[in-house]
Amino acid sequence: MERIIITVVGKDTVGIIAKVCTYLAEVKINVLDISQTIVSGYFNMMMIADRSSSDVDFGACQEALEKLGNEIGVQIRCQREEIFEMMHRI
């Protein structure tokens, strides 16, 4: 399994989850877990996904998600799970 962590932050609008999940489905990235919340009109989502079935390389996936975020007015960040874990160890 090749797990990635995707975070999405920005002003809440209709369709954020749908647009992110549509892209992931198109490139055969499976969503394993998802958590989202809205606080005072700001949207925050964290996803754990498996990209082992995807033909899109990691860098291209990062770029596509960043571009999608720009299009829908949110910031999308994608990291390999092991990098995310190392950054958040105490």
- DSSP-assigned letter for residue 18: H
Determine the pLDDT at residue 83.
73
Structure tokens belonging to residue 68: 């999608």
Closest CA to 60 of 89, 37, 27: 27
Structure tokens belonging to residue 78: 């994608």
Amino acid identity of residue 45, one-letter, is M
Per residue in 28-66, pLDDT (tens digit) is 999 999 999 999 999 999 999 999 999 999 999 999 999
Determine the pLDDT at residue 88.
63
Amino acid identity of residue 58, one-letter, is F
- The yes-or-no verdict on residue 78 having pLDDT over 70 is yes
Residues paired with 3 in a beta bridge: 50
Determine the pLDDT at residue 81.
82
Per residue in 4-22, pLDDT (tens digit) is 999 999 999 999 999 999 9
Determine the pLDDT at residue 82.
72
